[in-house]
Amino acid sequence: MTMAKVGASNGRTYYSVMPVGMANSVTKSPSEQYLGDSSAEMTDLDDYEMTFLPALINKQKYIIAPYGVDNMLPYWLRRKIRKNQVTSSGQSFNITSCYGQGLKIVDRSDKKRKTTDDPDIRDFCLRNCLPEVFIGQCTDMKFFYFSILVIILDRAGDKIVQVRHKDACNCRLEKAVNGKIQHVIYGDWKRGTLLSGEVIPLLDPHDPYTDLMVRMGKQEDPMTGKKGKMTKDRKFAILSRMPTPGLTYYPMPYYASIFRDDWYDIYKLIGLGKKYMIKNNSAPRTQIEVKDEYWGKICEDEGITDEAKCKSRIKQAKQDIIDFVCGPENAGKALITGYMIDPISGKEVRDIRIYNLNESGTKEGGDYLDDSSEASNFLCFALGVHPNLIGATPGKSQMNNSGSDKRELFTLKQSTEIAFHDIMSLPWHLILHYNNWSDKYSVDVPMIELTTLDQNKSSQMVTPSANQGEDNNGNKNQ
Q: What's the CA gap between 264 and 390, in Å, rounded? A: 18
Amino acid at the residue 282:
S
**40: pLDDT confidence band, cut at 50, 70 and 90?**
low
The mean pLDDT value for 407-422 works out to: 89
Q: What's the CA gap between 150 and 161, in Å, rounded? A: 11
Q: What's the CA gap between 382 and 291, in Å, rounded? A: 61
Amino acid 390: pLDDT? 80
The percentage of residues in the chain with a pLDDT greater than 90, rounded to a whole number, is 35
Range from 202-211, 229-238, 390-399 carrying the lowest mean pLDDT: 390-399
pLDDT in tens, 319-334: 888 777 776 666 666 6
Amino acid 280: pLDDT? 67
* Burial class, 333, CB count within 10 angstroms (exposed 0-12 / middle 13-18 / buried 19+): exposed
Return the CA Rg of the chain. 33
Q: What's the CA gap between 417 and 88, in Å, rounded? A: 19
pLDDT in tens, 341-354: 767 776 777 777 77
Higher pLDDT pick, 65 / 271: 65
Higher pLDDT pick, 205 / 36: 205
Q: What's the CA gap between 95 and 178, in Å, rounded? A: 36
Range from 123-127, 163-167, 301-305 carrying the lowest mean pLDDT: 301-305
Angle CA(11)–CA(13)–CA(16) in degrees, nearest 5? 160
pLDDT at 10 over 50: no
pLDDT at 365 over 60: no
Amino acid 249: pLDDT? 92
Higher pLDDT pick, 56 / 151: 151
Pairing between strand 60-65 and 352-356? unpaired
384: number of Cβ within 10 Å: 16
Q: Which residues are CB-contacts of 360 (< 8 A; sequence separation ≥ 6)?
A: none
User: What DSSP string runs through 83-146?
Assistant: H-HHHHHHHHHHHHHHHTT--EEEETT-TT-PBP--HHHHHHHHHHTHHHHHHHHHHHHHHHSE
pLDDT at 399 over 70: no
Average pLDDT value for the chain: 80
- Cα 383 to Cα 19, 81, 89, 276, 314: the distances in Å are 34, 11, 10, 29, 60
- First-to-last alpha carbon distance for the chain, in angstroms, is 71
Q: What's the CA gap between 453 and 387, in Å, rounded? A: 24
pLDDT in tens, 263-306: 888 888 888 877 777 776 656 677 788 877 888 888 888 888 88
Higher pLDDT pick, 60 / 274: 60
**363: pLDDT confidence band, cut at 50, 70 and 90?**
low
Give me the residue spans of the domains in the chain.
Answer: 45-253+417-444, 286-356
Amino acid 92: pLDDT? 94
For the ranges 19-23, 57-61, 228-232, the maximum mean pLDDT occurs at 228-232
Amino acid 428: pLDDT? 96
Higher pLDDT pick, 211 / 399: 211
Are the C-beta atoms of residues 4 and 15 closer than 8 Å to each other? yes
388: number of Cβ within 10 Å: 17
Helix axes 369-383, 85-99, angle to 10 degrees: 30
User: What DSSP string runs through 267-295?
Assistant: HHHHHHHHHHHHHHHPPP-EEEEE-HHHH
pTM above 0.75, yes or no: no
The mean pLDDT value for 126-153 works out to: 95
Range from 14-23, 183-192, 270-279, 387-396 carrying the lowest mean pLDDT: 14-23
pLDDT in tens, 199-220: 999 999 999 999 999 999 998 8
H or E element that contains 428: helix 426-434
Helices of type H across 282-417: 292-302, 307-326, 369-383, 387-390, 403-415
The mean pLDDT value for 42-56 works out to: 75
pLDDT at 423 over 90: yes
pLDDT in tens, 372-381: 888 888 898 8
